[in-house]
Structure 1
Amino acid sequence: MPELVATGPSQVFTWDITKAAGPAKGVWYHAYVIIDIFSRYIVGHTVERAESAVRAEELIRETIARNGIVPQTVHADRGTSMTSKKVSQLLIDLGVTRSHSRPKVSNDDPYSEAQFKTTKYMSDYPERFDSLAHAREWFDAFIAYYNHEHRHSGIGWHTPASVHFGTAEEVRDQRAVTLAEAYARHPERFGRRPRPPEIPQTAWINDPAKRREPAPQTS
């Protein structure tokens, strides 16, 4: 069982590929998405006509170079591209620890699962994309929104970009001032003194403290 923890951005990335329906039955596009598990920031993405280990290796290489910091660990499921020699050798060359989900256990990558669910539940997510260009355009726009405008419940209702680039604490302080002023003006509107939610200090894949112990057997 993988047990991974990030205490800040650029420590643990996770990535996966999801299918998006094309213009006709049997036509699919493949969206590759790389996420920083601490900030939830999508650090890299592409949409391609097919799943390819070569393209996956290129995307990971490009993403790490653009991010400017080599992550400690890159996690993925056990798909063909994820376990390919191309990707494995790149991570070895960069000194990055490889981590993989257990077979058929989606909970070993909850961040990618949740992000894909958010993507496909968007009200403007197309039932089918007209073309590869259409799919790329939609994902580019959505990911810009997700990173810079979407306020994520798992990171104290901050945007992924704010957490990733270190402005979230300042934003939280501003929220605290606003709430304190509102409380001072109308304390009767609040059951207790309001405080902005904390920003989690760790992000886990399979936190051992939350693992369910097997139920004791009875004789």
Structure 2
Amino acid sequence: MMKELGIQGRIKRKYIATTNSRHNNKIYSNLIKDKELTGINQIWCADITYIRILNGFVYLSAIIDIYSRKIVGYAIGKTLSPKLAIAALNMAIATRNTKGLIHHSDQGIQYTCKDYIKILKDNGIRISMSGKGNPYDNAFAESFFKTLKQEEVYLWEYETFSDVAERIPYFIEDVYNRK
């Protein structure tokens, strides 16, 4: 019947892990549980997602201001190295006030590595991490990634890294952050 009507069911997409929590780096407590916000730059959430291309994946590291729901920093890369997350963090720090800020993330190695932690501490940013395997603690970033994929990624057939590097900044800056 669906075929006769020309409609399809939703395709369940394969889960791709972007968090490696198997490490010995320090894990920080969750500081944002039940925290009430009164303005921007109080809590940023950081996370990473993948974007499928013809021959593999491209990764997007994004930092979202929870109060405004705006993306304040992002980076696109070919690997899940900490350098990707650091590039997004440096972008956010360069354009925002970090006084009194809490940075929240999962327990992935990108966010627990010494270089990332040093940047946070050098900028007076308090560190918060979600419980292991609990995506609900970082729901704002997950919500952005869902919007990104539904309104942008799934509508295009990216073939190359360059395709992603061209389209994603446009979506973030000219579509999502203007809502």
Relative to the length of structure 2, the TM-score reads 0.75
Name the residue aligned to 2:48: 17
| Displacement of 1:127 | 5.9
| Displacement of 1:89 | 1.1
| Displacement of 1:17 | 0.4
Which residue among 84, 87, 108 is the counterpart of 2:113?
84
The structure with the largest alpha-carbon Rg is 1
Would you identify which runs of 4 or more consecutive aligned residues in structure 1 move more than 2 Å? Answer: 123-128
Instruction: Tell whether 2:164 aligns with 1:135.
Output: yes
Which residue among 139, 147, 150 is the counterpart of 2:177?
147
Is residue 40–residue 67 contact of structure 2 (8 Å, CA) maintained in 1?
Answer: yes
Distance 1:123 1:101 in 2: 27
Residues 124 and 28 from structure 1, CA distance in 2 versus in 1: closer, same or farther, beyond 3 angstroms? closer
* Alignment gaps of 5+ in structure 2: 1-28
Identity %: 28
| Displacement of 1:128 | 4.2
1:55-88 Cα shifts (integer Å, max 9, x gaps): 3223312321122x01511000111101111111
Is residue 21–residue 127 contact of structure 1 (8 Å, CA) maintained in 2?
Answer: no
Q: Which moved more, 1:114-123 or 1:92-101?
A: 114-123
Residues 73 and 126 from structure 1, CA distance in 2 versus in 1: closer, same or farther, beyond 3 angstroms? same
Distance 1:73 1:59 in 2: 16
Name the residue aligned to 1:42: 71
Relative to the length of structure 1, the TM-score reads 0.62
The total of aligned residue pairs comes to: 146
User: Aligned ranges for residues 181-192 of structure 1 at < 5 Å?
Assistant: none
Give RMSD over aligned pairs.
1.7
User: Aligned ranges for residues 187-206 of structure 1 at < 5 Å?
Assistant: none
1:88-138 Cα shifts (integer Å, max 9, x gaps): 111111111000010011110110011111111116634642111110111
Which residue among 79, 104, 118 is the counterpart of 2:133?
104
Instruction: Tell whether 2:83 aligns with 1:30.
Output: no
Is residue 20–residue 128 contact of structure 1 (8 Å, CA) maintained in 2?
Answer: no
Residues 5 and 64 from structure 1, CA distance in 2 versus in 1: closer, same or farther, beyond 3 angstroms? farther
Residues 12 and 124 from structure 1, CA distance in 2 versus in 1: closer, same or farther, beyond 3 angstroms? closer
Is residue 53–residue 158 contact of structure 2 (8 Å, CA) maintained in 1?
Answer: yes
